[in-house]
Amino acid sequence: MDSRTEVENQIKLLSDASWLMPSQSAVYQELLPFLGSLHRVVNLYGLQGVGKTFLMHILCKERRVDYVASPDLIRPADRPLVVDNAPFERTAVRGMRNRMRRFDLRQVILVTRYRVEDTIPAFALTIAADDVRCFRANLFRNLDLRLPECSALNLWEHLKLIGGVHG
């Protein structure tokens, strides 16, 4: 296992809501009232590397949602089901509603790169320099990990720097 994979596994193991960056925390607070609501489909969207999957991981750890990594893995769930890497096109989303009925799902949260082309509640996740500073501070505070400087507004670009300095 490479050091990047080890760090990702440690993040998954140790993280909780206190790890959320400011933008994630704001979307978390906006999204909570919609969990288990009458809305059958909800959308969380944003570009690659803004922390959408991480936010859903936190909700899953809190036992508020269940999670699948792709639409191909949809299964019955007792809680709202997060479907990561979901399609955003209207016809695909409508097809997803049929799959919801087949599995008797009460609610699905579609995690997409772009806003879903349908009339459903949608929450945009973006990233700013403050978020990156928070992310890097969490790595240092919780994993004693210092990364080389990087100005990218994409968390994956920062994780690619693993191999940086520990301690």
Q: How far is the C-alpha of 81 from the C-alpha of 148, rounded, in Å?
A: 37
Kindly report the pTM of this predicted structure: 0.92
pLDDT for the residue numbered 3: 85
DSSP annotation string for 23-54? HHHHHHHHHGGGTTSS-SEEEEE--TTSSHHH
pLDDT for the residue numbered 1: 39
pLDDT, average across residues 148-162: 92
- Which tens digits make up the pLDDT trace of 72-105? 999 999 999 999 999 999 998 888 888 999 999 9
pLDDT for the residue numbered 163: 63
Class of domain 3-124: alpha beta
pLDDT for the residue numbered 96: 87
Q: Where are the domains of the chain?
A: 3-124
- Which tens digits make up the pLDDT trace of 21-69? 999 999 999 999 999 999 999 999 999 999 999 999 999 999 999 999 9
**CB-neighbour burial class of residue 97 (10 A; exposed 0-12, middle 13-18, buried 19+):** middle
Quote the mean pLDDT of the chain: 93
Q: How many CB atoms lie within 10 A of CB 71?
A: 17
